[in-house]
Amino acid sequence: MKLKQPTTLWPSLFLISLSLLTLIGVLFVFEASLVESLTTFNNQYYIITQHLLGLGLGLGLFLLVSRLPTKLWLKFATPVYLFSLILLLATFIPGIGLKLNGAHRWINLRFVRFQPVEAIKFSLILFLTDQLAGLKNEKTRLIKFVVFFSLPALIILLQPDLGSLLLVGFIAVLVYFLVGGSIKSLMILSVAALPLVIAAIVFAPYRLQRLTTFLHPNQDILGSSFHIRQISLALGRGGLFGQGVGNSRQKYAYIPEAATDSIFAIVAEEVGFTGSLFILTLYLIFFVSGLKIIQDAHQPPKAKLIGQGFLIAIMAQVFFNLGAVVGLIPLTGMPLPFFSYGRSSQIMIWLAAAYIFSLTRTKAKYLKAK
C-alpha cells in the first residue's frame, strides 16, 4: 500500500507553539518568582533554577521519547499504571511521603521531590485506552472503567486532593467516551458520582469555604477571598496592553502562588488583554496542530487514542487553571502547562507532548498489514 506523504506543516506548528509557550513561560516564572524565592528560600533565583532543571529533564525526555515506537507505550501500559498506584500509596509512608498543610501529596527522596498525581493523570490514559479500546461489550467496558478509575481516585481523595481528583475524573471520562463508551453510561456515572463530590466538599471545611468564596468573592476580601481578590486586581490592572513585562505590582507577595497556580494573573497584569490573547492563540495552535498530527498519523487506532487522551489532559489543565483565574470555576490549585513552576507537572507534560510528536513517525508495516 502506497503511503500518503505526511505534511510538515502541523509538526512544525506543534514544535513552534511548544517552544514559544515554554520560552515565554520561563520568562514569567523568572520574574514572578523573585520575591517568593527570596522570602521562602533566601535565594531569589531558587525557583527559576529549579524550573530550568525540570525543563532540562523534560526536554531531554522529549528528545528521547519522541523517537520511540508507539507500541512500546502499549506494551508497558499495565506496569506503568501499577507503578503510578504504588507511588500514590507511597505518599502515606513515613520517611518517604511528605505531608504539607495536612495533605499527603508528595514523595520526598531527599535528592528529589515528586508529586505522583501528575504521573497518574497520564498513566491512567495509557492504561484505560489499552484495556477498554476495542471491547464490544458495553457492560464489561463500564465495569472495567469503574474499577480501574476507582483505585487511584480513592487514594487521591484520601491525600486529600479534590482538585486533582476532579481533573483526573474529567480526563478519565473523556477517555471512556473516546474508546467507545456510551453517553448513557457516562450520565449514569455522573449522577452516581455527584453525591460523593458534594459530600467531599460539605464534610471538609476548607473545601466548603473555597466554594463559598467562589460564590461570594467579596464577602471576606482580607481573609478567604484575599487570593481571588488580588487576582482580580491583577487582571484589572492589565487593561488592553498591560503594565509592561516586569512591572507587576501584585507579584510582590500580594498574590499567593504567583509563580505556580496564579502565574497567569501576573502575565495578564504585565501584558494585558493583547498579550494574553497571543498566549491563548499559542495554546490553540498547540491543540489544533497536535490534533492534526494525531488524525494524520499512520498509526494503529489505540496509538492515536492515547495521543488524543494526552492532548486532552494538557488542554484540560489549561482550562481548569485559566477558568479559576478568571473566576469561572473555584480555585483548584491546578498548574498552567508550560508556565507554572512545578517539576513533576512539567516533566509529565513534556512526556505527553513527546508521545504526540512521535506519532509523526510513519508506520509502514501497520499499513501493509491492513
Please say whether the beta carbons of 74 and 303 come within 8 A: yes
Whether residue 1 is predicted with pLDDT greater than 50 in this model: the reply is no
CA–CA gap between residue 46 and residue 40 (Å, rounded): 9
With beta carbons less than 8 A apart as the criterion, state whether 366 and 300 touch. yes
**What per-residue confidence (pLDDT) applies to 81?**
94
Residues forming beta bridges with residue 104, ordered by sequence position: 99
Q: Which residue has the higher pLDDT, 333 or 51?
A: 51
337 touches 349 (CB < 8 A): yes
CA distances from 18 to 56, 324, 349 (A): 14, 23, 11
Distance from the Cα of residue 133 to its chain's centroid: 23
Angle at 255 between CA 171 and CA 58, to 5 degrees: 45
**Cell 495552535, located at residue:** 285
* Cα gap 156→295, rounded to integer Å: 33
Strand partners, 114: 107
Does residue 317 surpass a pLDDT of 80? yes
The whole-model pTM stands at 0.87
**Percent of the chain clearing pLDDT 70 (strictly above):** 86
pLDDT higher than threshold 50 for residue 266: yes
Say whether pLDDT at 167 is over 80.
yes
- What does the pLDDT average to over 102-113? 75
| C-alpha cell, 3 | 503511503
What is residue 170's predicted lDDT score, i.e. its pLDDT?
A: 87
